[in-house]
């Protein structure tokens, strides 16, 4: 075939590439004569797409990252969070990502045509221009070929700057694949719109309409069984926004929500949603109980503020054993006032002797407010209110003596030998054993009032104190004890069965300690007669009335059950009898006392008001609506790095398209993209052999 014949056939072949009309729409344009190039036009649709669409896509991904992917996925949304449907966002980005590569190729093809529309700006040799004849810059296979050639150092002219720029931007566009791997969705909630919901729990009217005994007995039974202190049904614990603890709200699925251990700040308990078969967060304003408690192990007597002032074994009349010299058991609960500490008291506890005990346990409990404040109810509303937890606290100190093995961890050295165990065995009497002690200290506080709840995030805001309504009765006013006092009344034998907790009208003054009888004068201890004692022990009855006879005073079993160490008791052998030593650590005692606080606060907030039959309509709460939340796949380095890399590459791709689009996409050219006809006229204008380019 002659050159003129090839040129004629080529001109026929280039009659049909796309061109554009005056409106920018693409159409077929044919040169008027074989030797005259077609008229150049601007392709506005493709040019505008190049400078607008990539930046919009990048901006959309930036919005997704800043609004939904920059936080730890473990963090909960709040009622004030943006709430576009995460599922729609995730699917929309899936569509954008699926079309993104095609969009990139479409707009960059226009850039290529603009660059090559004027040869004087881009005069390339045959090998360079041949790479543009089929948009090879958009093909990964061609990238591999060029890389291999560079590695093998073949002597070929370098690729054109236009091909390199278009190739790099195309590589950046592949970040669409990476961005899709950094986000996911999960079920969540958004605030509801309809006020009013059925709830269970107490309010200002029903809080004091219960007998204190019933509330304390309900807490004691659960504590003794070692039950988990969990919110009723599918409830929530509302933490302070400043608390760094992990949020566990009723927007979570899974097991029931447990009360926090040693919260950094007070938490709020409010009425819970009635439905127990689903988890629905509540938002709005509600009355409830603001509480705080913290227990810590003690390994030195100086860490106690009350028990550090205790009478010790050198004091005349100190009871160092469970039995008097006449072999009579000392009372289960004795107490005395601590000199110099106001109303503070120290209780001495021992377990009833059944003749089958294999180990001995004696405890001392120091109370900051003392026994008189536990068993009295102040009538004045201002005095009776549950004050701000930051301003008032109840202190409970607990020291536990038993037959610990030598070298046991956490023993308080100053309390070694303060109590003695005379192991009774008629066949082979054992020598007296000095008991060792461990300790724990708890601080508790409470207040009642209104708070703004965000059940979606699991926190509360704007707490305002408001007392529960006292119940008027025969000239008196009935109120429940404060949280800290209620814990002490539940733990100490004989107190919760006292008539004062059984719904009787109360005096306006504190109970006189003289109503508790002194220890009998004819009893004597190992260290001296009680008549000569300077301590002033007084007895708290643990039996006698019907209520006292019905209830359990076994504080020792409660410590075993709630400490979480069941089955870890060590064994020490004796002739014909086995003695057990309870291998408990101060941390175990701390845990047991902390569980006591948890069960009491749950009883105060929900006891007798958690059954569906006790539900009531709360006008100021709103049930949240199910929603889908967009979240990052993870928040560790392995998850954050792909997010940063994808965001960076996508931004560079959009910026490159914008710059090249403004520079070249609006230029007049023969076709919308660099077609075969454009290649022909480029070769004609640049003086390059078109046939050689085709062959190459």
Q: Helix, strand or coil for residue 238?
A: strand
Q: Which residues pair with 283 in a beta bridge?
A: 454, 622
Q: Which of 92-96, 145-149, 390-394, 609-613 comes out lowest in average pLDDT?
A: 390-394
Q: CA 129 to CA 682: how far, in whole Å?
A: 9
CB burial string 437-476: b at 16+ within 10 A, e below: bbbbbbbbbbbbbbbbbbbbbbbbbebeebbbbbbeeeeb
Mean pLDDT to the nearest integer, 103-118? 84
**516: confidence class by pLDDT, cuts 50, 70, 90:** confident
Domain boundaries, the chain: 45-70+84-187+634-695, 196-608+615-626
Q: Contacts by 427-432 with C-beta closer than 8 Å and gap 24+?
A: 427/575, 427/576, 428/574, 428/575, 428/576, 428/577, 430/574, 430/579, 432/321
Q: Which residues pair with 278 in a beta bridge?
A: none
**Token pair of 246, please?**
């992990």
State which H helix or E strand residue 394 sits in: strand 394-402
The model's pTM: 0.73
Q: CA 279 to CA 273: how far, in whole Å?
A: 8
Top-ranked range on mean pLDDT: pick from 206-210, 611-615, 690-694: 206-210
State which H helix or E strand residue 578 sits in: strand 577-581
CA nearest neighbour of 442 among 504, 367, 373, 332: 367
Q: What pairing do the DSSP bridges indicate for beta strands 333-337 and 345-350? A: antiparallel
Q: CA 523 to CA 391: how far, in whole Å?
A: 43
pLDDT digits 0-9 by tens, 166-204:
888 988 988 888 888 888 888 878 888 888 999 989 999
pLDDT digits 0-9 by tens, 238-251:
988 877 655 554 44
Q: Helix, strand or coil for residue 62?
A: helix
The CA-based diameter of the chain, rounded to the nearest angstrom, is: 139
**571: confidence class by pLDDT, cuts 50, 70, 90:** very low
Give the per-residue pLDDT at 474.
59
CA nearest neighbour of 172 among 643, 638, 640, 645: 645
DSSP per position, 179-216: HTTSEEEEEEEE--S-EEEEEES--TTTTTSS-HHHHH
Mean pLDDT to the nearest integer, 103-125? 77
Q: Which of 13-27, 351-365, 579-593 comes out lowest in average pLDDT?
A: 13-27
pLDDT digits 0-9 by tens, 438-493:
999 999 999 999 999 988 888 899 999 999 988 776 556 678 888 998 999 999 98
């Amino acid at each position: 075939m002659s050159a003129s014949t090839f040129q004629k056939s080529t001109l026929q072949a280039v009659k049909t590439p796309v061109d554009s009309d005056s409106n920018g729409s693409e159409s077929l344009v044919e040169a008027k004569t074989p030797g005259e190039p077609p008229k150049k036009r601007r392709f506005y649709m493709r040019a505008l797409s190049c400078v607008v669409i990539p930046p919009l896509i990048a901006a959309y991904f930036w919005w997704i990252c800043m609004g939904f992917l920059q936080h730890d996925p473990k963090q909960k949304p709040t009622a004030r969070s943006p709430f576009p449907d995460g599922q729609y966002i995730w699917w929309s980005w899936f569509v954008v990502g699926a079309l993104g590569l095609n969009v990139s190729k479409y707009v960059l093809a226009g850039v290529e045509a603009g660059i090559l529309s004027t040869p004087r700006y881009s005069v390339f040799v045959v090998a360079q221009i041949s790479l543009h004849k089929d948009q090879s810059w958009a093909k990964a296979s061609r990238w591999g070929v060029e890389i291999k050639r560079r590695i093998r150092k073949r002597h070929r002219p370098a690729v054109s700057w236009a091909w390199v720029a278009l190739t790099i931007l195309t590589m950046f566009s592949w970040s669409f694949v990476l961005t899709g791997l950094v986000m996911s969705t999960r079920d969540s909630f958004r605030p509801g719109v309809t006020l009013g919901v059925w709830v269970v729990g107490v309010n200002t009217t029903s809080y004091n309409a219960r007998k204190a005994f019933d509330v304390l007995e309900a807490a004691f039974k659960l504590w003794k069984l070692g039950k988990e202190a969990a919110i009723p049904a599918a409830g929530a614990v509302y933490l302070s926004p400043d608390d760094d603890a992990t949020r566990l709200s009723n927007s979570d699925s899974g097991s029931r929500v447990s009360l926090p251990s040693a919260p950094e700040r007070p938490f709020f308990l409010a009425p819970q949603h009635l439905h127990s078969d689903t988890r629905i967060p509540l938002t709005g304003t509600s009355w409830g109980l603001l509480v705080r408690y913290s227990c810590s192990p003690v390994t030195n007597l100086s860490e106690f503020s009350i028990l550090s002032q205790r009478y010790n074994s050198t004091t005349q009349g100190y009871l160092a054993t469970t039995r008097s010299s006449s072999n009579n058991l000392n009372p289960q609960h004795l107490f005395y006032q601590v000199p110099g500490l106001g109303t503070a008291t120290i209780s001495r506890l021992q377990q009833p002797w059944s003749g089958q005990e294999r180990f001995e346990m004696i405890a001392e409990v120091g109370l900051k407010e003392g026994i008189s404040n536990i068993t009295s109810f102040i009538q004045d509303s201002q005095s009776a209110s549950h004050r701000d937890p930051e301003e008032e606290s109840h202190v409970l100190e607990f020291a536990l003596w038993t037959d610990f093995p030598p070298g046991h961890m956490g023993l308080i050295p100053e309390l070694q030998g303060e109590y003695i165990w005379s192991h009774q065995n008629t066949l082979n009497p054992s020598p007296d054993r000095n008991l060792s002690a461990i300790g724990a200290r708890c601080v508790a506080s409470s207040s009642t009032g209104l708070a703004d709840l965000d059940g979606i995030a699991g926190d509360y805001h704007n707490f305002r104190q408001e007392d529960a309504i006292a119940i008027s009765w025969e000239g008196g006013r009935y109120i429940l004890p404060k949280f800290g006092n209620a814990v002490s009344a539940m733990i100490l034998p004989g107190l919760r069965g006292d008539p004062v907790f059984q719904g009787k009208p109360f005096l306006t003054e504190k109970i006189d300690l003289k109503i508790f009888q002194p220890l009998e004068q004819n009893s004597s201890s190992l260290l001296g007669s009680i008549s000569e004692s300077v301590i002033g022990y007084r007895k708290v009855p643990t039996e006698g009335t019907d209520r006292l006879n019905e209830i359990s005073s076994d504080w020792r079993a409660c410590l075993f059950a709630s400490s979480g160490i069941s089955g870890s008791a060590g064994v020490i052998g004796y002739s014909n009898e086995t003695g057990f030593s309870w291998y408990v650590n101060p941390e175990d005692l701390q845990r047991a006392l902390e569980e006591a606080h948890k069960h009491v606060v749950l009883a105060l907030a929900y006891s007798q008001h958690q059954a569906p039959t006790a539900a009531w309509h709360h006008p100021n709460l709103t049930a949240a609506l199910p929603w889908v939340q967009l979240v990052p796949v993870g928040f560790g380095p392995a998850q954050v790095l792909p997010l940063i890399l994808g965001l960076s590459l996508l931004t560079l791709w959009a910026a490159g398209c914008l710059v090249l689009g403004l520079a070249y996409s609006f230029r007049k050219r023969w076709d919308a993209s660099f077609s075969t006809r454009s290649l022909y006229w480029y070769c004609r204008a640049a003086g390059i052999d078109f046939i050689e380019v085709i062959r190459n």
